[in-house]
Structure 1
Amino acid sequence: MTDPHTANAIVEPLIQVGMSLPEIKWPYLVSLTRLSLALALGLLIGLERERRGKEAGLRTFSLIALLGAMGGTLGDNYAYLILFLVGILTVFLNVQRLRTDDSSELTTSAAMLITCVAGILCGKGHTATPASIIVIVTALLAWKDRLTGFSLGLTENEMRSALLLAILAIVIYPALPVGAIGPWKLIEPRAAWVTVILIAGIGFVNYVLWKLYGTRGIVMTGFLGGLVNSSITVSELASRARDNQRDTVSAAYRGILLATAAMLIRNGGLLLILAPAAAFSALIPFVLMLVINAVWFFIDTDTVKKTVETQTQTVELPLPFSLSAALKYGLLFLILHIAGVIAQQGFGEAGFYAVSLIGGVVSSASAVAAAASLVTSGSVPEHVASTGAVIASLASVLINLPLVLRAHNRGLTLRLSVAMLSISVVGIAGAFVAKPLLGFLLEAFPMLSQFN
């Protein structure tokens, strides 16, 4: 029988040289959640590779994601080791591919390395970041044919427009000073430049969607662009209808109405998040404006369907980005911003309404956010803030009418003028009847008071 002292004398040196690892107790649910997320992400990207008939498919990507998650859970050294081993696996995959075929699997190899890194992030407790990465990578892999066809079809002028947009957003914007400058602190260079980037970006996105999807893209841009800046979007959509073709004119009409609806939804949602009580007061005019907007949109649906079926012609697309137009809009934004600040400082409640009106012309979202912040700080009553939000939204609707003239199409201008004016009239009427009607509803239904 071995002497205990002799056994200890043998074991202790082994422990000192690292032949025995310390025991680590992991929380079961936390560890299972991290591994499950990694497995789900591996299955997602592996499913796309399996569908493409690649050698590394569903099982391979799932195992790589799990390996990465286990490495991230064990620690950095294990994570580096597993990433190195996956790198060797990608080399082996390409060697085998070159032996049996003339092409390599560079895209699949890159996807395997990204999946491993995403798994490591899952193992370290990250959730949104690895999930977003895998979703983006899977989308890029799934849209291979469409992206390849689009890139091969780019002209030199289109590529130059994309590079110019990148310079505006990535190079010039960070170099501008932060906050207000000047002796009276009235000029905000970054705020003005954001407007320049917006008009350039929306124009470029509109161009890409149009090139990919035809006239369907203009409708998609209408709603998405309206969430950012409806005036810029309307101006861009109207310019696309200059060819006077019936399908593009109808698409521009629907896109502009969708941009207006998106602006109203955005402003109402912003007010609801920042000042729920003010949003409750503005509920009636916003709902009425959206209803009228929807009526005009769906009235045109049958006509559009018939038009698209009977006539489809090739559309000559102009360049996706105009620097001069973007700079002009940025200058206009800067002038109106300075005027709004001066009006707010010089007047009281009337100044607030003036700022709301000017803000609606330039950026109704900013005006609505300002109204909500003033309610939160107690500077203005709830009904004043809600009225200001409605004024800003109405101004944003009405300012679109001159922008529609860019289409040089009398029929489109007339239809949109009637639609915009009716939306504005209903909004004004709703603002007048909102206070007494809400008071009646609160008396009839006391349970609504919890939202007020």
Structure 2
Amino acid sequence: MTDPHTVTTLAEPLIQIGMSLPEIKWPYLVSLTRLSLALALGLLIGLERERRGKEAGLRTFSLIALLGAMGGTLGDNYAYLILFLTGILTVFLNVQRLRTNDSSELTTSAAMLITCVAGILCGKGHTATPASIIVIVTALLAWKDRLTGFSLGLTENEMRSALLLAILAIVIYPALPTGSIGPWNLIEPRGAWVTVILIAGIGFVNYVLWKMYGTRGIVMAGFLGGLVNSSVTVSELASRAKDNQRDTVSAAYRGILLATAAMIIRNGALLLILAPSAALTATIPFALMLLINAGWFFFDANARQKATGDSSQPVDLPLPFALGAALKYGLLFLILHIAGVIAQQSMGEGGFYAVSLIGGVVSSASAVAAAASLLTGGSIPAHVASTGAVIASLASVLINLPLVLRAHNRALTFRLTIAMMSISVVGIMGAFLAKPLLSFVMAEFPVLLQFN
């Protein structure tokens, strides 16, 4: 017969290493919420694996997520134990797979381990982190065919461009000094390098969209790029139209118009958020510019629909981006930034307009934000801030004209010159008419004064 004292003595080491069940009463709703989140995430990724016909499917991933959540709730030792057991399960899955088939389930095994870790995070009370991880992993698993096809089609030059972009953003940018440096603190290395990264990034995204969606990708990249930097986007789209093919040239034309419209919308939204009183005065010129822009865009779309015998031809894609062009644009940004700071310090209201003009050439969003900041600080009145925002936007429109020359296409250059000039003219007219029209409206409708 076994001595009870001996049993107790044998159990003591297990208690000392912390593997005994914690005597803790968890709140019911908190525990239920954590387990439910883990179960939902396991069902999500398991559903994708089940649809693919994998051996580890809906039930397996749900149980792994629940196990991880229980381990995270019980403590670190149990979490490590459950993660170790999940690793053994993945080994067993691959051994069985190799016995019955020629291939292993490495992707599913990695997904099982990630699901277990996400469950542990849920058990510890995390919500956004495990949910984001599982959604990303599920997306990667669901887009297997598209990602595989895209990666197999990559050339050596495309891979080199991707690595170069990563070096620009991840290696060089963090090494640059923060803030202003040099004489009179006129140089901002990181600000100039952000422009280089922006040019390279927009070019790369434009290339990927073009490769995946054809000429439709140019139009998509036009609007998205215009929200970031319309001048860089216009320069990039113009360079894509060098092949002089009808589809490419028309897509570049519409993409440039969309980039211009996105810039105007972004600047108007910034002014409305940061300085509503100035946005009220700028509404008329911005609205007129958008109206003319939309007219040119839909006119081209209708003309294409009425065209006959317009067969698409294969497009010869150039490289994602040119490092030399990106570096030149970054140097130009740095020079204009220094000139803008000097002008603002040496002149008054005229200096502000000069800075707005220069800022519109480099980054109209920065110029609009600066105008709103000066208005909020009481340095300039509302109508001056509004005029500065309009000047910056007009400068951003007009700077597109020399950038379009990169296309080396007379027809595209002529059409965009007409479009940009007409947009600029109505913007200038709106800027001159905005103040008297606003005064007339305020006189007729005094109730609107509370918004000014």
State the TM-score, normalizing by the size of structure 1.
Answer: 0.90
Q: How far is 1:20 from its partner?
A: 6.6
- Superposed, 1:58-73 pairs within 5 Å as 58-73=58-73
Residue 384 of structure 2 corresponds to 384
- In the alignment, is the contact (CA less than 8 A) between 2:22 and 2:74 conserved in 1? no
| Paired residue type of 2:435 | K
Aligned counterparts of 1:289 and 1:116: Cα–Cα separation in 2: 54
Judged with a 3 Å threshold, the aligned counterparts in structure 2 of structure 1 residues 311 and 275 are, in CA distance, closer, same or farther, namely same
Residue 337 of structure 1 corresponds to 337
- In the alignment, is the contact (CA less than 8 A) between 1:367 and 1:389 conserved in 2? yes
Judged with a 3 Å threshold, the aligned counterparts in structure 2 of structure 1 residues 184 and 48 are, in CA distance, closer, same or farther, namely same
Residue 410 of structure 1 corresponds to 410
Residue 319 of structure 2 corresponds to 319
TM-superposition CA deviations, 1:23-71 (whole Å, max 9, x none): 323262x444444443333333233222222222233333333333343
Aligned counterparts of 1:131 and 1:202: Cα–Cα separation in 2: 29
- In the alignment, is the contact (CA less than 8 A) between 2:254 and 2:297 conserved in 1? yes
Aligned counterparts of 2:73 and 2:409: Cα–Cα separation in 1: 63
Q: How far is 1:346 from its partner?
A: 0.6
| Paired residue type of 2:216 | R
CA RMSD of aligned residues (A): 2.5
| Paired residue type of 2:24 | E
SS at match of 2:120: helix
- Superposed, 1:17-96 pairs within 5 Å as 21-26=22-27, 28=29, 30-96=30-96
SS at match of 2:24: coil
TM-superposition CA deviations, 1:336-382 (whole Å, max 9, x none): 00000000111122111111110000011111111122222222222
- In the alignment, is the contact (CA less than 8 A) between 1:246 and 1:307 conserved in 2? no
- Which stretch of structure 1 is more off in the superposition, 101-110 or 85-94? 85-94
Residue 399 of structure 1 corresponds to 399
SS at match of 1:282: helix
Aligned counterparts of 2:344 and 2:129: Cα–Cα separation in 1: 42
Judged with a 3 Å threshold, the aligned counterparts in structure 2 of structure 1 residues 58 and 307 are, in CA distance, closer, same or farther, namely farther
Judged with a 3 Å threshold, the aligned counterparts in structure 2 of structure 1 residues 33 and 293 are, in CA distance, closer, same or farther, namely farther
- Which stretch of structure 1 is more off in the superposition, 413-422 or 273-282? 273-282
TM-superposition CA deviations, 1:181-202 (whole Å, max 9, x none): 1121111111111111111111
Residue 206 of structure 1 corresponds to 206
Judged with a 3 Å threshold, the aligned counterparts in structure 2 of structure 1 residues 378 and 237 are, in CA distance, closer, same or farther, namely same
Judged with a 3 Å threshold, the aligned counterparts in structure 2 of structure 1 residues 98 and 387 are, in CA distance, closer, same or farther, namely same
| Paired residue type of 2:118 | A
TM-superposition CA deviations, 1:56-110 (whole Å, max 9, x none): 2233333333333343344333333332232222222222222221111111111
Judged with a 3 Å threshold, the aligned counterparts in structure 2 of structure 1 residues 157 and 98 are, in CA distance, closer, same or farther, namely same
Q: How far is 1:240 from its partner?
A: 0.7
State the TM-score, normalizing by the size of structure 2.
Answer: 0.90
- In the alignment, is the contact (CA less than 8 A) between 1:247 and 1:308 conserved in 2? no
Residue 176 of structure 2 corresponds to 176
Judged with a 3 Å threshold, the aligned counterparts in structure 2 of structure 1 residues 60 and 261 are, in CA distance, closer, same or farther, namely farther
Q: Structure 2: state its 5+ residue gaps.
A: 1-11
Aligned counterparts of 2:322 and 2:83: Cα–Cα separation in 1: 45
Aligned counterparts of 1:249 and 1:154: Cα–Cα separation in 2: 25
Residue 104 of structure 1 corresponds to 104
Residue 298 of structure 2 corresponds to 298
Among the aligned pairs, what percent are the same residue? 84
The alignment of Structure 1 onto Structure 2 pairs a total of residues equal to: 439
- Which stretch of structure 1 is more off in the superposition, 230-239 or 75-84? 75-84
SS at match of 1:333: helix
Aligned counterparts of 1:35 and 1:439: Cα–Cα separation in 2: 62
Q: Structure 1: state its 5+ residue gaps.
A: 1-12
Judged with a 3 Å threshold, the aligned counterparts in structure 2 of structure 1 residues 260 and 47 are, in CA distance, closer, same or farther, namely farther
SS at match of 1:297: helix
TM-superposition CA deviations, 1:243-271 (whole Å, max 9, x none): 11100011101111111111122222222
SS at match of 2:183: coil
Aligned counterparts of 2:278 and 2:156: Cα–Cα separation in 1: 51
Aligned counterparts of 2:289 and 2:173: Cα–Cα separation in 1: 36
Residue 8 of structure 2 corresponds to none
Aligned counterparts of 1:414 and 1:26: Cα–Cα separation in 2: 71
